Structure 1
Amino acid sequence: MNIRDLEYFQRLALEKNYSKVADFYHVSQPTITYAVKRLETELNVSLVNRNQAHKNITLTPAGRQFLLHVNSILRELRIAKQEMTHFTAKKLPLGLPPIIGNYYFPKLSPKLLQADILPHLIIQREGSENLLRQIKLGRLDVGLIGSLDAIHEDSLNTEILTKKKFKIVAAPTHPLATKKTVAFADLGDEKFLLLSEQYVHHHAFARLSQSSNTDPKIIYQSDDLDILKGMIKSGMGIGFLAELAVSPDDNLVTIDLSDLTQPQFLISLIHRNSSIVTPIMEELLALIRQVVTEDENKKVQKD
Structure 2
Amino acid sequence: MSGGVITVMELKPLRYFYEVARLGSFTRAAERLNLAQPAISMAIRKLEEELQLTLFHRRERTISLTDEGRRLYAQAGKILQAVSDAELEMQELKGLERGEVRVGIPSMLGSFYFPPILMAFRHRYPGLMFSVHEGGAVQLQQMLEKGELDLAVIESQQIPDMLEARAFLREEMRVVVAREHPFACRSSVSLEEFFAEELAMFKPGYFHRKVLDRLAREVGCTPNIGFETNLVPLIRAIVKQGFGISTLLNMAVEDDPELVTLSFDQPILLDLCIAWRKGGYLSQANRAFVEFLQEASGFVVMDDTGQL
2:283 corresponds to 1:283: no
CA displacement 1:111-161 (0-9 Å, x = unmatched) = 324313486223222223222222222232222x1336141333x331122
Query: For residues 132 and 29 of structure 1, what CA distance do their matches in structure 2 show?
Result: 32
CA displacement 1:247-292 (0-9 Å, x = unmatched) = 2235322221125xx86533111223423422x3333222111122
2:133 corresponds to 1:124: yes
Query: For residues 137 and 191 of structure 1, what CA distance do their matches in structure 2 show?
Result: 38
Distance 1:90 1:191, change over 3 A: same
Deviation at 1:107, TM superposition (A): 3.8
Q: Which has the higher helix share?
A: 1
The equivalent residue for 2:78 is: 72
2:227 corresponds to 1:220: yes
* Larger Cα-atom Rg: 1
The equivalent residue for 1:26 is: 38
2:159 corresponds to 1:151: yes
Query: For residues 30 and 129 of structure 1, what CA distance do their matches in structure 2 show?
Result: 36
2:186 corresponds to 1:174: no
Seq. identity, %: 20
Q: Secondary structure in 1 aligned to 2:113?
A: helix
Question: How many residues get paired?
Answer: 269
Aligned letter for 1:284?
F
The equivalent residue for 2:60 is: none
Aligned letter for 1:277?
S
Judge conservation of contact 1:109–1:118 (CA < 8 Å) in 2.
no
Query: For residues 41 and 148 of structure 2, what CA distance do their matches in structure 1 show?
Result: 33
Q: Secondary structure in 2 aligned to 1:153?
A: coil
Aligned letter for 1:147?
E
The equivalent residue for 2:248 is: 241
Aligned letter for 1:236?
F
Distance 1:66 1:208, change over 3 A: closer
| 2:107 maps to which of 67, 91, 98 | 98
Query: For residues 258 and 47 of structure 2, what CA distance do their matches in structure 1 show?
Result: 67
Query: For residues 228 and 29 of structure 1, what CA distance do their matches in structure 2 show?
Result: 48
Query: For residues 259 and 41 of structure 2, what CA distance do their matches in structure 1 show?
Result: 67
| 2:211 maps to which of 204, 217, 229 | 204
CA displacement 1:175-226 (0-9 Å, x = unmatched) = 1011112211134542111122242222222222222222232111112101
Deviation at 1:82, TM superposition (A): 8.2
The equivalent residue for 1:21 is: none
| RMSD across aligned positions (CA) | 4.2
Aligned letter for 2:133?
Q
| 1:274 maps to which of 272, 275, 280 | 280
Query: For residues 20 and 122 of structure 2, what CA distance do their matches in structure 1 show?
Result: 49
Deviation at 1:89, TM superposition (A): 6.6
Q: TM-score, normalised by structure 1?
A: 0.69
CA displacement 1:10-69 (0-9 Å, x = unmatched) = 79999xxxxxxxxx97369998677556557xxxxxx679xxxxxxxx9899x9866654
Q: Secondary structure in 2 aligned to 1:214?
A: coil
Q: Secondary structure in 1 aligned to 2:256?
A: helix
Query: For residues 166 and 110 of structure 1, what CA distance do their matches in structure 2 show?
Result: 26
Distance 1:39 1:242, change over 3 A: same
Judge conservation of contact 1:146–1:265 (CA < 8 Å) in 2.
no
Judge conservation of contact 1:79–1:139 (CA < 8 Å) in 2.
no
Deviation at 1:96, TM superposition (A): 2.0
Aligned letter for 2:159?
I
Q: Secondary structure in 1 aligned to 2:242?
A: coil
Distance 1:77 1:193, change over 3 A: same
Query: For residues 176 and 41 of structure 2, what CA distance do their matches in structure 1 show?
Result: 64
2:11 corresponds to 1:3: yes
Aligned letter for 2:106?
P
Distance 1:35 1:132, change over 3 A: closer
What are the ranges of 5 or more consecutive residues in structure 2 without an aligned counterpart? 1-6, 23-35, 56-64, 300-308
Judge conservation of contact 1:141–1:275 (CA < 8 Å) in 2.
no
Query: For residues 112 and 98 of structure 2, what CA distance do their matches in structure 1 show?
Result: 28
What are the ranges of 5 or more consecutive residues in structure 1 without an aligned counterpart? 15-23, 41-46, 50-57, 295-303
Query: For residues 8 and 94 of structure 1, what CA distance do their matches in structure 2 show?
Result: 26
